Amino acid sequence: MPGLNCQYGLGFTTLEREVDRLSLQVQGLLPGWLTGRLLRTGPAKFEVGHQVYRHWFDGLAMLHAFDFGDSMVRYSNRFIRSRAYCEAMEKGRVARGEFMTDPCRTLFGRVMAIFRPKPTDNANVNVSVLDDEIVALTETPMPIVFDPHTLETRGRLQFSSAIRGHVSTAHPHGDGKREYSYVIDMGRRSTYRLFINEKGEQRVLAELPSDRPSYMHSFGMSEHYLVLTEFPLRVNPLRLALSGHPFITNYRWRPELGTLFTVIDKASGAIIAQAKAAPCFCFHHVNAYEADGALLVDILAYPDARIVDDLRLDHLRAGAKIDPTSTLTRYRIPLDSHSSGAVEVEPEPLCDMRIELPRIDYSRRAGRSYHCVWGTGQTRLDNFLDTITKIELSQTAPATVTTWTEPGCFPGEPVFVARPEGIAEDDGVLLSVVLDANAGTSFLLVLNAATLAEIARASVPHHIPFGFHGNYFASSFS
């Protein structure tokens, strides 16, 4: 195990242990209505043989499940048996190229990789629903289907032959009627291909050409529109194919290109509007909605893309001073503009408190006006994400901020679960997996979503490496 020079370094170390429906000790009293399952994915193995993955986004994926019922919590975890994982275990080394790590290849192997590329299916970013299946996702169009009872890997979800692409998003959207996502088809003339999943059938909604595709981790959705946000972290597809270097290292920061928003009609696929803004970078869209003839697009904005390099494992394990949080920022894109080109729009910071891993009341507020955002924050530059933060937006007053923090504890993404009979936007609980660095273990934290007061916690007998995303499913699958 590499040397660790920071308190939170345990969150970036390998977990080998797998358990099945382990009963956890609960402190506090869980709400009686909380009877579903929290499913999460994240990197859990950071080295294979003597080869160490270079980036937080590279580690081999593990699923984590927390089952609720009868005032109890049961925990299971299991590595995803992706091709990337199975080949690595068989060969004893990194077998497929990841975000910032590439396998060691001979010259012949590098040449063959150009003609017969083997993209990764290491689904360590998110758990969501596609085609009525619960899937684990990464940024290639290779969703992994798994059994929600046992976490056993079932295989890949196959896209329609029309949905061709090399890069995708781990953050699909759904509006209760359809699911929306996109792929990026890299080539001499690259294409952003947005598609719809409806009643088990996939079809292309829109195709947008691009000479230099942007690195985009997510996209936006309102009631009637999708919004694709191209940041000036761009790639030459020929370089990507021929360089022999890891995926993200082929991208270049091109601030002169600015940030480009393209608004697409969800029904027809037509481009409704385009807008251009000053250069920024973003991993996560928070929400988008229509108001007063404009589309309001809220993202977590960084001034540039340095955060990508900051999240290298050697930086994180050394306790380097980084700020892995960003500013909640709004862009107002006119929908009734008669301009034939992209209109200029200005960023509107919504709150001084910086956060990451944002969550909203998605089932009721996605694509609609909203007031509450929850995320993780940071108290000091020499600490990692060590707070859970609630931002309440107001049209007439500055945003209000509430936080939860505990010494030596480092929480993950706070997943909002609405109380079934609740009406208020923050009537429910937050679920967050927290690393307790002092104990050397992790626990599941349950907070009142309105006040961030602790309701309960359930202790896991080992550490859980820092992950990214997951979702709560009301069915317990039992």
Structure token pair of residue 244: 């022999």
Distance, CA of 450 to chain centre: 23
Using the predicted structure, report yes or no on whether residue 106 has a pLDDT greater than 50: no
Residues 269, 166, 131, 419, CA torsion sign: negative
For residue range 1-59, what is the model confidence (pLDDT) as tens digits? 445 779 999 999 999 999 999 999 999 999 999 999 999 999 999 999 999 999 999 99
Structure token pair of residue 116: 């017969």
CA distance 94 to 84: 8
CA distance 223 to 50: 49
> By the 8 A CB rule, do 59 and 73 touch?
no
The confidence score (pLDDT) of residue 52 equals: 96
β-strand pairing of 356-359 with 327-334: unpaired
Spatial neighbors of 256 by CB under 8 A, at least 6 apart, are 232, 279
For residue range 254-292, what is the model confidence (pLDDT) as tens digits? 999 999 999 999 999 999 999 999 999 999 999 999 999
CA angle 109, 111, 113 (to 5 degrees): 70
Beta-bridged to residue 259, according to DSSP, are 277
CA distances from 146 to 84, 133, 151, 154, 156 (A): 15, 8, 6, 5, 9
Mean pLDDT of 339-343: 83
For residue range 325-338, what is the model confidence (pLDDT) as tens digits? 999 999 999 998 66
The confidence score (pLDDT) of residue 1 equals: 45
The confidence score (pLDDT) of residue 199 equals: 76
The confidence score (pLDDT) of residue 108 equals: 38
CA distance 430 to 412: 11
* Confidence grade of residue 132 (pLDDT, cut at 50, 70, 90): confident
Q: Which residue has the higher pLDDT, 128 or 161?
A: 128
In the block, residue with structure tokens 């507020």: 365
For residue range 239-253, what is the model confidence (pLDDT) as tens digits? 998 888 999 999 999
The confidence score (pLDDT) of residue 105 equals: 52
> What's the DSSP call for residue 159?
P
In the block, residue with structure tokens 């020079």: 5
* Confidence grade of residue 114 (pLDDT, cut at 50, 70, 90): very low
CA distances from 14 to 93, 97, 121, 145, 178 (A): 15, 19, 19, 23, 37
Long-range contacts of 420-425 (CB under 8 A, 24+ apart): 420/33, 424/450, 425/361, 425/364, 425/365, 425/370, 425/371, 425/372
Mean pLDDT of 122-144: 95
Long-range contacts of 150-155 (CB under 8 A, 24+ apart): 150/20, 150/76, 150/78, 151/63, 151/65, 151/76, 151/77, 151/78, 152/78, 152/81, 153/80, 153/81, 153/82
The confidence score (pLDDT) of residue 112 equals: 42
Q: Buried (b) or exposed (e) across 404-442, using 16+ Cβ within 10 A?
A: bebeebbbbbbbbbbeeebeebbebbbbbbbbbbeeebb
Spatial neighbors of 266 by CB under 8 A, at least 6 apart, are 175, 178, 180, 205, 221, 224, 225, 226
CA distance 412 to 385: 8
* Confidence grade of residue 117 (pLDDT, cut at 50, 70, 90): low
- Mean pLDDT (the chain) is 93
| pTM for this model (two decimals) | 0.95
CA distance 410 to 435: 5
Spatial neighbors of 124 by CB under 8 A, at least 6 apart, are 41, 42, 43, 57, 59, 60, 61, 62, 80, 136, 138, 467, 468
To the nearest 10°, the Cα dihedral for 277, 278, 284, 290?
Answer: -20
The confidence score (pLDDT) of residue 259 equals: 98
CA angle 327, 57, 413 (to 5 degrees): 50
The confidence score (pLDDT) of residue 110 equals: 47
CA distance 305 to 228: 18
The confidence score (pLDDT) of residue 478 equals: 44
Q: Which domains does the chain have, with CATH numbers?
A: 7-473 (2.130.10)
Share of the chain above pLDDT 90, in %: 86
Residue (of 123, 138, 40, 58) closest to 314 by Cα position: 58
> What's the DSSP call for residue 24?
P
Q: What are phi and psi of 317, to 5 degrees?
A: -70, -25
CA distance 173 to 219: 9
CA distance 1 to 40: 24
β-strand pairing of 271-277 with 343-344: parallel
The confidence score (pLDDT) of residue 3 equals: 52
* Confidence grade of residue 396 (pLDDT, cut at 50, 70, 90): confident
Share of the chain above pLDDT 70, in %: 95
For residue range 196-229, what is the model confidence (pLDDT) as tens digits? 988 778 899 999 999 999 999 999 999 999 999 9
Using the predicted structure, report yes or no on whether residue 116 has a pLDDT greater than 90: no
Using the predicted structure, report yes or no on whether residue 346 has a pLDDT greater than 70: yes
> What's the DSSP call for residue 18?
-
Using the predicted structure, report yes or no on whether residue 145 has a pLDDT greater than 80: yes
